Amino acid sequence: MAGEGSGGVCGRGNLPSRWRFVSAAAAGVTAVVMLGTAAAMLAPASAAAAEIAPHRALYTMTLGTTRNDSGVADAQGTMSYEWGETCDGWTIEQRYRLKMRYAESDDVDIASNFVTWEAKDGLRYRFNQKEKRNGDVDEEIRGEAKLDGPGKGGTATFEKPQPQTLNLPVGTLFPSAHTILLIDSAHQGENFISRQVFDGSTAENAVQVSAVIGPPVPPDPDAGKKSALLQRPGWRVRLAFFPADASIEKPDYELGMRLLDNGVSQDMTIDYGDYQIRAKLDDIETLPRPGC
């Protein structure tokens, strides 16, 4: 399904924000930057049903399959992903460094730090990103967004890269609400959902994210020996991220992963059509919950 990468939500260099995504998720020369009724989607009960486990995870990124004409010779990097909890919201901090080696052009070293806060009712969101390429600051994005109510539209106000305000479409979700909806939908046996998601990883509007959810997968006994966080059931999920321009029918990229019912991504593959980036979980630890 994946189409050729563009300068959209994940042009060639940002990790998918599903993790920003997860949430994950989520976002030029980029290689990697993370879903009932509209009211039910964002209700506080939805977050309780998903039972998100605050955690810090470390991943190793490598080049997966490629096409001969992709021009990508190698890719190696690391990523840390933290999904934390406050009394009134969710925090996500995603840091990664990825070196892309090309067959006929110079190598590119990408380093990114993306930090967000999202209200548990899914109506308020703050985002801050800084990305460097070959040691120089390439892009800074900062701002906040709010929705007028569950299932309604809203606004996103950017401070950087330049002041602007965008009108978010009706039904927009922020990243944590999107991941929670994914998990709740999987629990209910749904196998396809598609929603508009805004994460602030680019200075663009919300994008359409379509998810195909596979059948339940039992806990991995070997992974469970590493951490109790991994001793959970989950699903194979594949997300297609479409550009903000609705006239473009092919997704910018796709993200396949084993998503556990506590919000942990056990593995990931980011598919750009002509090449893939794989993320392997190396280490994971539980983060403390707030004493509210």
Is 30 part of any domain?
Answer: no
Is 18 part of any domain?
Answer: no
Would you say residue 181 has pLDDT above 70? yes
> Quick check: 262 and 24 in contact, CB under 8 A?
no
What total number of domains does the chain contain? 1
Contacts of 78 (CB under 8 A, 6+ apart): 58, 59, 60, 61, 96, 97
> What phi, psi does 249 have (nearest 5°)?
-90, -25
Across 37-51, 102-116, 217-231, least confident range: 37-51
What does the pLDDT read at residue 183?
Answer: 96
pLDDT tens string 85-127: 999 999 999 999 999 999 889 999 999 999 999 999 999 999 9
Kind plus residue range of the DSSP H or E element containing 95: strand 89-102
> Quick check: 207 and 197 in contact, CB under 8 A?
yes
Is 261 part of any domain?
Answer: yes
Domain range for 142: 38-285
Is 6 part of any domain?
Answer: no
